[in-house]
Structures are given as structure tokens and as C-alpha cells.
Amino acid sequence: MSHATVTDLYEASMALSFLREGMTRDATFSLFVRDLPPGRGFLVSAGLEPVLGFLTDFRVTSEDTRDFAAALGSPPGEVGPLVGLGFDGEVRAVPEGRVVLPGEPLLEVTAPLPQAQLVETWLLGQVSHQTAVASKAARCVLAAAGRPVVDFSLRRGHGPEAGMQTARVGAMVGFAGTSNVAASLKFGLRASGTMAHSYIEAFGDEEAAFTAYARSRAGPVTFLVDTYDTADGVVTAARVLNTLRRGPGSAIRLDSGDLAELARRSRAILDAAGLPDVAIIASGGLDEYGVDRLVRSGAPIDVYAVGTKVGTSSDAPYLDSAYKLVEYDGRPVMKLSASKVTAPGRKQVLRGDGLDDVITLADEDVPGGGEPLLRRVMSGGRRTGPPDTLAAAHDRFTADLAAVPEHALRIQDPEPPVAAVSARLSALTSHVRRRLEKGVEERREERAGPDAGPPDDRPREEP
């Protein structure tokens, strides 16, 4: 099964109908997040690189159309117009790693209408998930206040692909490593890990387990010390490290209990044993809130390992994201549904100091200017440059983070900046709204006729 069929059924139905109706002129779709989830002061753009790879290779095969026909309950011949459909459009997007605000387009796709429609589901899924997780991970980095953060999310994430994405976007925002071996190899990350409680339990006692583990590995080791009694585990770990002369660079890991108090007791035990260079790693249900509490408590923790809550973005597991048509064949369009109104036309975001952003029309020249966030990254279905790198995305994130206002960086109760809307975009939105509302009213009157009462969708007085 190809990625072309990893889509919602109605995408195929609409694309097929567009082809049959000859509606193949260029359309522009804008992908954006309407509102930030509670507890977020900003988002981090992520997922673009996988999207570009998908669009580059996108093509509907004969086998795909047979699958679409089966799903639609149609004879294969009726789905034939989809055969060979690829992507030869343009993508303008915010590069990965940049800080973005609600309402701002993360990317805009301009392509023949059937193409731009059929790729919607894949693009939304990739960008929404990775942006949500990258934004959560970025807050962990903030909370850690310079201490390393490591990704331990693979085992409880939403599947292996999600685990790979979490490791990747974690590195983008500054994570120091990952437990995910495949991700470490694919993305050039530092692999990090220790042992499970089952390893300790399989031996007769902790000392035998620690000794065997150290002998099986060259260099520094990390011991999990809370299988039975944490303080006793730390004493045992210190004894084994001294006996085998493996102290420098090694660590102990605390995974349960009062991590702040256990870290203080562990630090005292290690220092008394002459092991001041042995680090303390904390894990066990941590995210930015737990890390923030531990850092503020002054706990002597050197590394934070975050997993389930970050890989699933547990407090904000989805984004209110949308992929909406904003222009077709040069005609600006918009949606008027209550609470889901969209702004028409191709857009740009101009960034001023301190995330003083203005959403404009794509061809608009705004007085005072600003840095344009959306860049052309694909033209004619091909990338405009080489694939981006995690290092470049991380550099962009670091630079943007330095400009984020303090009130948006807070772990508790952040206040996100709000992007302004240019006068031209506001005027176009009002113009298109009036045109659409006038059309709706005219159609109501036509249906009602000159002698009819109120339209069916208006309240009637009871007799």
C-alpha cells in the first residue's frame, strides 16, 4: 500500500469529482493552527521536511486506484482519472524550528485543485503531530534551565512512527539524546539508556546485577537504583563503581518516589563515596511541569529523561489545526461557519522584534516591513534547495526562542503573543464576507419567492 492511499476517503471523492468537472486550475490551501491549547505560549513549527519528501514522491498508481475504488464501492474504471496524479505544485512554508503563533500559516500549498486536495490528510497529520510534540519538548528544555533533557518516549508513544518523530523534533529543540536506537542512527543523535527493573530482578541482588552490567559495557555506565530501596541501591552502585573504577562519566537513575529528596540523599551518598563526578538522572512521568518543580526546588539532578507525557503531548494532545482553501483560480475564498471563519487569499507573515508579527497578503508591501517567515521551499513539485538539517532547524529555534517575550515562556500560565492582521488582509476579508453573505441572502430570497413567508432556516411565530 502506497502513501497515496493514507488519506481520508472524502479526499479521494473530492479529487475525483474535481477531475470529472474539469476543475483543475490552481488552488491555494493554507495550513494553520486556529488557537493555542491551554498552557502554551507559542508553537514550534515542525514536520515540513517529511512533508516535502512525501510530496516529492507522491503519485497515484493503478494499484492505488483499485484500492480507492474498493473503498468507494465503485468500479475501478470510474476511479481511473486519478491514475498518474502526482504533485507538481508550489509550497511556501515556515522553516522547521521557527516559533509561530496562532492564525499564522505554517505552510501554503498552491497546485491544481485535485492535487492540493488529495494531499490534505497527510500534510495535516504530519505537521499537526510534530508541531504539537516539538512545542511540548521545547517547554521541557526551558524548564530544565540548561540541564540536558533526554527522550525516553518510544515505548509509550503512539506507535513507532510517532516515536521516531518525537526523537527528531526533540533534537530540533535541544534534547541531548534519545533512547530510540533507530532514531539515533537515522538522525545522528546520541543514544542514551540504562537498564530496566527486570534486569535487577533477574539477578540475586543489586550488586551482582550492577557488576554484570558494568562488565558487559565499556566506558561509563548508568545504574537504575530504585528497584528495592533507593538509598541502599545508591550505596551499592557507589561500591561497584569504586571497585571497578568506573566513576567518571557514569550515573545513577532515579525513576520513582520523591525525586527531589532522593536526589539530595543520593548526592550526599555519592559525594561521601568519593564520586562527585557521578551524575544523577531523573525520570518517571516527567514533563515540563515536573522538571520545572524539581529545578525550582534546587534538587541536585543533572539530567532529565522525559517520555510518555512528552511523546504524547499529554496535556495538549492535539492542535486545532486546519487546511483550508483560501484561493481558487485567482478568486479569494473563505469559510463563514461560526467560530471557524477563515481569512481569504495567499498570505505571508512578517516578523518584527519580540514576535511582533503581522499576517499579510502574500504580495503585500507593509510599511516598516519585517522578516518574512514563509519561504518558497517547493516549486513545480520539486524542492527549491537541498533537504534541511536538524542542526539548521535547531539554530533557528535557538535564535527565535531568544526573542520570545518572557510572558510567553512561562511554564505556568503563559500568555501568548497575538499576531496582528494587515489592513489590506482585513479589507479583503470584509469584502469577500460581504460578497458571500449577499449571495446567501439572494439565494434565500429566490427559494422563498415573492409571496413566501420567512425562509425555512429562520424562526417562525407559533400560530
Task: Supply the CATH number for residue 70's domain.
Answer: 3.20.140.10
3-state secondary structure of 225: coil
Cell triple for residue 461?
411565530
Task: Please tell me whether residues 104 and 24 are part of one structural domain.
Answer: yes
Task: Please tell me whether residues 175 and 283 are part of one structural domain.
Answer: yes
Model pTM?
0.93
Nearest to 386 by CA among 377, 376, 374: 377
Each residue of 290-319: b (16+ CB within 10 Å) or e? bbbebbeeebbbebbbbbbbbbbbeebeeb
pLDDT at position 423, please? 93
Judged by average pLDDT, the poorest of 147-151, 278-282, 343-347, 368-372 is 368-372
For residue 345, give Cα distances in angstroms to 24, 71, 410, 446: 18, 34, 34, 29
For residue 107, the enclosing domain spans 3-133+320-424
Cell triple for residue 77?
474504471
User: Can you tell me the mean pLDDT for 64-82?
Assistant: 93
Q: SS3 breakdown of the chain: % helix, strand, coil, rounded to 5?
A: 45, 15, 40
Average pLDDT, the chain: 94
3-state secondary structure of 313: coil
Task: Please tell me whether residues 150 and 237 are part of one structural domain.
Answer: yes
pLDDT at position 403, please? 95
Task: Please tell me whether residues 195 and 214 are part of one structural domain.
Answer: yes
Q: At how many degrees (to 10) do helices 288-297 and 259-272 cross? A: 50
Q: To 5 degrees, how large is the angle CA 158–CA 159–CA 161?
A: 110
- Do 311 and 153 meet the contact criterion of CB atoms below 8 Å apart? yes
Task: Please tell me whether residues 362 and 253 are part of one structural domain.
Answer: no
Whether the per-residue pLDDT at 229 is higher than 60: the answer is yes
CA trace torsion 124, 127, 129, 134 (10° rounding): -160
Q: How many structural domains is the chain composed of?
A: 2
| Whole-number Å distance between alpha carbons of 390 and 396 | 10
Residue 435 lies in a domain: no
pLDDT at position 456, please? 54
Nearest to 343 by CA among 441, 417, 432: 432
Task: Please tell me whether residues 202 and 57 are part of one structural domain.
Answer: no
Across 84-148, where does the E strand assignment appear?
A: 90-93, 99-100, 105-112
- Do 366 and 422 meet the contact criterion of CB atoms below 8 Å apart? yes
Residue 429 lies in a domain: no
Residue 251 lies in a domain: yes
User: Can you tell me the mean pLDDT for 68-90?
Assistant: 94
- Do 370 and 350 meet the contact criterion of CB atoms below 8 Å apart? yes
Task: Please tell me whether residues 160 and 97 are part of one structural domain.
Answer: no
Whether the per-residue pLDDT at 28 is higher than 70: the answer is yes
- With cut-offs at 50, 70 and 90, classify the pLDDT of residue 154: very high
What is the domain-level CATH number for residue 275? Answer: 3.20.20.70
pLDDT at position 2, please? 78
What is the number of helices (H) and of strands (E) in the chain? 16, 19
